[in-house]
Amino acid sequence: MPPKRYIMGLFKDEDLAVSTVKALQDSAFNLLRVHSPFPSHKLAAVLNLKKSKVGYFTLAGGILGFFSGFGLAIYCATQWNLIVSGKPVIALIPFVIVGFEFTILFAVFGNVIGLLTQTGLPDFQGLKHYDSRCSCEHFGILAACAEDQQEGLKNFFRKFGAEIRVFDESLAQLNRQV
């Protein structure tokens, strides 16, 4: 295959980035990534991103933690024969505190596990086609084209008022990343 050119259009305005993504999806160029300095609901809507499953991991961790906390408190209370002066050995009110704390702890663990598994982190290969300005105030739209279409893609981005950054790489190097 002929070498590909990776070109990023950098925008300061969110609405310009959204309109560029819409137009790029209908063009012959390949939209690869969109970088945003903050979470953008407009970009998420135009990219048709699916809802994250990280919340389910957090919920599962919280439920598991709640029952683990109660189980640990009940196990500890039944293993030591404490004299409780006629009060119940398994008392719900004090065990709620332990259950609550375990709920928080396991929910955090579930959240971190969900974040790592669902987002594919760490992704060191994505840094090859990244501009550090996307961390501050610019929206970056990365697209690929054949080498002979490079000027057309640059003009496409310029038409929407973007700054241009060109990444030169062959397709074989990109395949090694994935």
DSSP string, 109-171: HHHHHHHHHHHT---SGGGGG--GGGGTT-EEEEEEEEGGGHHHHHHHHHHTT-EEEEEE--H
Look at residue 140 in the predicted model and tell me its pLDDT. 94
**pLDDT tens, per residue, the chain with 178 residues:** 566 889 999 999 999 999 999 999 999 899 999 999 999 999 999 999 888 899 999 999 999 999 999 999 999 988 887 777 877 788 888 899 999 999 999 999 999 999 999 988 777 776 788 888 898 899 999 999 888 899 999 999 999 999 999 886 654 444 444 3
Among all chains, which residue has been given the structure tokens 């389910």?
A: 56
Nearest Cα neighbor of 8 from 138, 146, 170, 172 is 138
Look at residue 2 in the predicted model and tell me its pLDDT. 65
User: In the β-sheet with 163-168, what is the strand arrangement from edge to edge?
Assistant: 30-35, 139-146, 4-11, 163-168
pTM: 0.68
H/E run at residue 10? strand 4-11
Question: What does CATH list as the number for 4-37+136-177?
Answer: 3.30.70.120
Look at residue 175 in the predicted model and tell me its pLDDT. 44
The phi, psi pair for 86, rounded to 5°, reads: 85, 0
Look at residue 126 in the predicted model and tell me its pLDDT. 66
| CA-based torsion, 37, 39, 44, 45: positive or negative | negative
H/E run at residue 64? helix 54-79
Look at residue 88 in the predicted model and tell me its pLDDT. 78
Look at residue 172 in the predicted model and tell me its pLDDT. 42
Look at residue 176 in the predicted model and tell me its pLDDT. 44
Q: Give span(s): CATH 3.30.70.120, the chain.
A: 4-37+136-177
User: What residue type is assigned to position 81 of the chain?
Assistant: N
